[in-house]
Amino acid sequence: MQENSRPTPNFHIDRKDSHTHARLGQLRLRNGIVQTPAFMPVGTHGTVRGVSSLDLRESGADIMLGNTYHLYSRPGVELIEKLGGLHSFTSWKKPILTDSGGFQIFSLAESRKLTEEGVTFKNKHNGDLIHLNPEKVVAAQEKFGSDIMMVLDECPPATATAFQVAEAVERTTRWARRSQEARTRSDSALFAIFQGGSDLELRRRSLKQLLELETHQDPWDGIAIGGLSVGEAKEKFVGTLFSLRGLLPTDRPHYLMGVGTPRDLVFAVACGVDMFDCVLPSRNGRHGIVMTKLGRMNLLNSRYTDDGDPIEMECPCTTCQTFSRSFLRHLFMIEDALAGRLATIHNIVFFLELMRNIRERIANGGFLEFAVDYLRDQKHYFLGSEKGFTAYPEVYQ
């Protein structure tokens, strides 16, 4: 494992699992402490779709994720800064991580132009051009007052050639250096992102290059694994993540970007990942798909028409404490916006409770047994495409 002689002061590991690479820790940020492993609800535009900051606070979330590209587009950096920064603007007083816009290089590939200087997007809302580069992205996040800033990176698709992935690795390194040099706020953590697709050699190269940048700069406050869950086969995703065990510096948090399902989270924690974000809880919730300890549930199914039980009997979320499956199905049938909000709240709490359970298992030494059972049990799939997947490698060290 990589060790650094200048440990990051805001991250403390309380316990390391003796059988896997799982870690129990605390990440101290300007606006609060994040207990790790942690799941970050995705508030792309400064809010989780249909869910208020009050709902998030009640759910027990420690941290929320926002997206620099989308906030740059609407409402704009200047307006957010004028109104006191992102925390004040969104009425969310806990930590915020802002993604850099690197994922949009992948997801908006048809409407952007990529050069060495940066990337230009066409704003779909008004047709204006949005130009982002490493310096602008850091400056925007500093004006937002983000607790964690992400460097601008190039995220290649799963269909990229080996040459294209290698180019993305090199550009990501050059952009990371520019991001370091552009940073002016020491009270906002700066995370690096390494790329490489499913090629382990390129992954090693990308990580090595980013760590070498620390020679003349402060250490990165965290290391993020980018470029996974971008269309590659499940076997490649799992195999790549498994191969990265033990390669990342042990003195700072490891963040797996844009992932994932409940089983992905359990497996990734066993591989040493500390932080996650994913849109699944909110996106699936808006379509009536919720998760329970007994598996995936589609609230639109007619079997719930007269079901007076909550989504899950022992769930602490306000949805389960207040409403029945029957009423929730009714809301979806009449297309009331409240339906998606209530289902999303449940899903977010489900993910947060899963992470709390994982932390407890690491603390008491029972994580390995829990992880093995969880990954083997087919009822824990969230996406239909996950059903039947059993090719997880052994999670032992």
Catalytic residue numbers read 99, 277
Phi/psi for 47 (5° steps) reads: -155, 140
Do the Cβ atoms of 111 and 61 come closer than 8 Å? no
d(CA 351, CA 146): 23
Do the Cβ atoms of 397 and 49 come closer than 8 Å? no
Helices of type H across the chain: 53-59, 68-73, 77-82, 86-90, 102-107, 134-144, 162-182, 200-212, 234-243, 262-270, 280-285, 318-322, 325-333, 337-364, 367-376
Residue written as token pair 């290089």: 105
d(CA 2, CA 108): 34
d(CA 201, CA 252): 22
Distances (CA, A) of 358 to 26, 57, 230, 352, 355: 14, 20, 26, 10, 5
Please say whether the dihedral angle defined by the alpha carbons of residues 324, 330, 332 and 338, taken in this order, is positive or negative: negative
Do the Cβ atoms of 21 and 397 come closer than 8 Å? yes
Phi/psi for 289 (5° steps) reads: -95, 120
β-bridge partners, 98: 66, 149
Question: Burial of 21 by CB count in 10 Å (0-12 exposed, 13-18 middle, 19+ buried)?
Answer: buried
d(CA 384, CA 168): 31
Distances (CA, A) of 246 to 1, 7, 223, 321, 389: 5, 17, 13, 42, 25
d(CA 292, CA 309): 13
β-bridge partners, 40: 277
Distances (CA, A) of 135 to 1, 76, 227: 31, 16, 21
